[in-house]
Chains A and B, each alone.
Chain A
Amino acid sequence: MYYLGVDVGSVSTDLVLIDESSNVVEKIYLRTKGNPIKAIQEGFNILRNEYEDYEITAAGATGSGRMIASTIIGADAVKNEITAHATAALEIDNDVRTIIEIGGQDSKIIIINNGVVCDFAMNTVCAAGTGSFLDRQAERLEIPIEEFGDYALRANTSVRIAGRCAVFAESDMIHKQQMGYNHSEIIRGLCDALVRNYLNNIGKGKTIIPKILFQGGVAANKGIKKAFENQLGFEVFVPENHSMMGAIGAAIIAKERVKKTGETNFRGLDLAKSSIVTKSFECEGCPNQCEVVKIYENNNVMGYFGDRCTKWSNRTRENSKLA
């Protein structure tokens, strides 16, 4: 009995299979590359080689692409990233009080009290200090992103870089390069700037209490972890499957949901072989002008979403009831 969790994010699409006691038995990390459907199919293709449909008894979806993911995989639970991350974190450690999550395009802080989320914040208008920003800078410096953290740890001093805005941070970084600072000092400066920005924006007004869990793709970066520890004065823990926490949370929520309902909507791994096409149209039923997305699987309509009045998406539900 396995439970599937799918997290379709801006940068990566993660799939995990967990067992009854929430251990991760399989994890797949794929780049979304702007095509979530293809990424999910790719992931299913890998899973298909080792698992059978009947072994997977629940499926959950999360991430910014959770709507499309849930429609095509037939998810039992569709949850937002914040709840998914908190669920996964609480599963591995009940004492966690603060969750720092930095992903590809967004960053969040989740405050937990008595094992329940009591406050949270997400970045709103600015993506400075997220994974994509670091990716870009790594590219500029021609350093593989995986080694970024090691470079930061090697530096003895940190160069102060203006981290308020990603564009200005970049110009400031170029300036510092031209002043002759070496790569590792600049990278450490960048990590410090990112953390400073995070604590000043997302962490503003929040009381950060240990134990602190650091998750999301950026948690792989040791330089950032170190910078958090320096600025907060507490130890920061990075869970083993830090980049998969969203998917793990979705799988756990799906597991609980199916235990309640007793049946799953999961469509099976053969999805990998189907040809899935999406078409969008502007609904003309009323002045709302919703952009409705229609998904076809092998020329059969699989579902709709994007409408406010649920005129179209109700058809999805009716169809799935009939099936």
Chain B
Amino acid sequence: MKITFPHMGNIYIAAKALFDGLGVDYVIPPQNNKEVLNIGTRYSPEEICLPFKIMIGNYIQAIEQGADTVLLTGSCGPCRFGEYCELQMNLMKELGYNLNFIVLDMPKDIGIKELFKRLGKVTVTSNKSMYGKTKALKDALTVANLIDEVEAKAHYLAGYERNKGQCKRILNDCKKEAMNCSNPEEMISSLRKYKDKLKYIPVDINKNPLKIAIIGEIYTVIEPFSNFFIEDKLMDYGVSSKREMTPTWWVKNMALSPLKLNSLKIKQSSKDYLSLAIGGHARECVGEAVLAQEGGFDGAIQIFPMGCMPEIVSKSILPTISKDKDFPIMSLVVDDMTGEAGYITRVEAFIDLLERRRNNVLLGS
């Protein structure tokens, strides 16, 4: 058995730690690029959302490297993601690939017994003891946590750094070095080293850079390829950015949701505008917009794939928030046809808008 999984931001780093720790054979699909998207678009339904297409590309490239099992999270939630696993299973079968799918889902949807059965499938070739397996999972979660922290810190400090490009360089080096580690312990200490490194970079605390919150559909905000590396661009422009949605957030949210203790702050903030979970992360998107405004951000950028139902709902709510709170929000829709030039123009113009607005506010007062 050779396990693979679709890309989504930095998940591949945590996955490497997990499978290394378990001693399970695995394939990390090549990083997302045009080639992946081309393959995915060729075989996916035309109207399906962008993440689906990229994932199909990941599977096919992983199969070429010998993968025969896909590990995927499911969701019985009211958004198309809930049907991804079924659709993808059928699609891959039709294409003539003999691929096993292991779909992890919430205990309330599939039952705790079934979840453990499925988890057991992942570790079936692992010769580690129960303790070893638990430790591998714990280490993987630590890795996920650390890389998310390093990334968030780098994105935020990019606005304050004295040596332009330092944060971006550290972040890239950090990812590269983590992937060269041969076991989870080594990876954790490498990540800790970079986390400390970010603590000591020279910053200008008087700088007051623009601060932008990245909100929207979880896959397209987390996976940089799907949003044309917007966070890297913001770092280049010297803008501090923050994104609430991370793989760690997702895990925490999932773990706490049976107790209804998940994302309390977000739920509270979205109450005035969208009080129900309508699927996907629409409520989170609305809540994050409100929180960003309260947190002193200059603006927010919403990103979602074309045809994403939950985010279309939040997109139509965001202008009301924008008006009520005098808080600029721009929505960007991405799909495989999106032209990069127009996209970048919009991001640049939005930054100019925020910059000039701020100057004007200062002059006006």
Is the beta-carbon distance between B349 and A82 smaller than 8 angstroms?
yes
Select A116's contact among B344, B349, B360, beta carbons within 8 Å.
B360
> With the chains together, A116 CA to B326 CA distance in Å?
14
Judging by beta carbons under 8 Å apart, are B349 and A308 in contact?
no
Instruction: Kindly provide the distance from the CB of B304 to the nearest chain A CB, expressed in whole angstroms.
Output: 13
Contact A289 B34 (CB under 8 A): yes
Does residue A117 face the partner (Cβ distance < 8 Å to B)?
Answer: yes
CB-contacts of B325-365 with A (<8 A): 328, 333, 337, 341-342, 344-346, 348-349, 352-353, 356-357, 360, 364
Whether A83 and B33, one on each chain, are in contact in the complex, defined by CB atoms closer than 8 angstroms, is: no
Q: Does B319 sit at the interface, judged by CB under 8 A?
A: yes
The answer to whether A83 and B236 touch (CB under 8 A), given A64-B341, A287-B31, A289-B34, is: no
Does A286 lie at the interface of the complex (its beta carbon under 8 Å from any beta carbon of B)? yes
Give chain A nearest CB distance to B39 CB in angstroms. Answer: 13
CB contacts under 8 Å to B, within A281-323, are 286-289, 308-310
User: In the complex, what distance in Å separates the CA atom of A134 from the CA atom of B285?
Assistant: 40
Interface code B154-169, partner A: CB below 8 Å = 1, 0 otherwise? 0000000000010000
Write the B11-51 contact mask toward A (1 if CB under 8 angstroms, else 0). Answer: 00000000000000000001111110000000000000000
Residues of B within 8 A of A82 (CB): 345-346, 348-349, 352
Query: A118-B328, A310-B236 in contact; A83/B364 too (CB < 8 A)?
Result: no
**Structural contact, A80 and B229, CB atoms closer than 8 A:** no
Interface: B232 (CB within 8 A): yes
Among candidates B35, B172, B319, B353, residue contacting A117 with C-beta atoms closer than 8 Å: B353
Contact A79 B352, beta carbon cutoff 8 Å: yes
Asked whether A120 is an interface residue with its Cβ less than 8 Å from the other chain, the reply is yes
Measured CA separation A118–B358 after assembly (Å)? 11
Q: How distant is the Cα of A80 from the Cα of B357 in the complex, in angstroms?
A: 17
How many chain-B residues does the 8 Å CB contact rule pick out? 28
Contact of B33 among A79, A80, A114, A288 (CB under 8 A): A288
Chain A residue total in the interface (Cβ 8 A)? 25
- Chain B positions within 8 Å of A309 at CB level: 172
Question: Given the interface contacts A79-B348, A80-B348, A114-B364, does A289 sit within 8 Å of B356 by beta carbon?
Answer: no
For A10, give the chain B residue with the smallest CB separation: B341
Judged by a CB distance under 8 angstroms, whether A7 is at the interface is: no
Verify A80–B165 contact, CB threshold 8 A.
Answer: no
Main secondary structure on chain A at its contact with chain B?
A: loop
In Å, the complex CA distance between A161 and B279 comes to 40
Residue from the set A80, A81, A82 with the largest chain B CB neighbour count within 10 Å: A80
Please give me the residue from chain A that is nearest to B364 by CB atom: A114
Which residues of B lie under 8 Å from residue A125 when comparing CB positions? 337
Does A122 count as interface, using CB distance less than 8 angstroms? yes
Which of A115, A124, A308 has the most CB atoms of chain B within a 10 A radius of its CB? A124
A97-137 to B contact mask, C-beta < 8 Å, 1/0: 00000000010000000111111101011000000000000
Do A124 and B30 touch (CB < 8 A)?
no
Q: Is the CB of A118 within 8 A of B357?
A: yes
Q: Are A116 and B342 in contact (CB under 8 A)?
A: no
Q: Measured between alpha carbons, how far is A149 from B241 in the docked complex, in Å?
A: 47
Q: Would A122 and B357 be within 8 Å (CB), given that A83-B352, A288-B31, A309-B172 are in contact? A: no
By secondary structure, the B interface counts as: helix
Cβ-neighbour of A122 out of B229, B337, B342, B352 (below 8 A): B342
| Interchain CB contact under 8 A, B341 and A287 | no
Chain A residues positioned under 8 Å from B319 (CB to CB): 205
* A291-B360 Cα distance, complex, nearest whole Å: 39
Residues on the B chain within 8 Å of A79, using CB:
348, 352
Instruction: Please give the distance in Å from A204's CB to the nearest CB on chain B.
Output: 11
Do B172 and A120 touch across chains, with their CB atoms under 8 A apart? no
Are A80's CB and B352's CB within 8 A? Answer: yes
A140 to chain B, nearest CB (A): 27
The CA-CA distance from A286 to B33 in the complex, in Å, is 10
- Asked if A106 and B357 sit within 8 Å, CB to CB, the answer is no
Contacts of A115 in B (CB 8 A): 360
Minimal Cβ-Cβ distance residue in B for A313: B236
Instruction: State in angstroms the CA–CA spacing of A82 and B32 once bound together.
Output: 31
Known: A64-B341, A117-B352. A122 touches B360 (CB 8 A): no
Whether B345 contacts A122 by the Cβ 8 Å rule is: yes
Residue B357 contacts which of A81, A116, A289 (CB distance < 8 angstroms)? Answer: A116
- In the assembled complex, the Cα of A288 lies from the Cα of B176 at a distance in Å of 14
Chain A residue nearest in CB terms to B172? A309
Looking across the interface, which residue of chain B has its beta carbon closest to that of A291? B34
A130 shortest CB reach to chain B, Å: 13
Shortest CB-to-CB span from A119 to chain B, Å, is 8
Candidate in A64, A116, A119, A309 with the most chain B CB atoms within 10 angstroms:
A116
- A205 and B323 CA atoms in complex are apart in Å by 12
Which residues of chain B have C-beta atoms less than 8 A from A64's C-beta? 341, 345
Of chain A, the residue at the smallest CB distance from B33 is A289
Shortest distance from the beta carbon of B150 to any chain A beta carbon, whole Å: 18
Please give the residue numbers on chain A whose beta carbons come within 8 Å of chain B beta carbons, in ascending order. 64, 79-83, 106, 114-120, 122, 124-125, 205, 286-289, 308-310
Task: Beyond A117-B349, A286-B31, A287-B33, list 17 extra A-B contacts (CB 8 Å).
Answer: A64-B345, A79-B352, A80-B344, A80-B348, A80-B352, A81-B345, A82-B348, A82-B349, A117-B352, A118-B328, A119-B328, A120-B353, A122-B345, A122-B346, A287-B32, A288-B33, A289-B35
Which A-B residue pairs are the 4 nearest by beta carbons?
A287-B31, A82-B349, A80-B348, A83-B352
Q: What are 29 A-B pairs at a CB distance below 8 A?
A: A64-B341, A80-B344, A80-B348, A80-B349, A81-B345, A82-B348, A83-B352, A83-B353, A114-B364, A115-B360, A116-B356, A117-B349, A117-B356, A117-B357, A118-B328, A118-B357, A119-B328, A119-B353, A122-B345, A125-B337, A205-B319, A287-B30, A287-B33, A288-B31, A289-B33, A289-B35, A308-B229, A309-B172, A310-B236
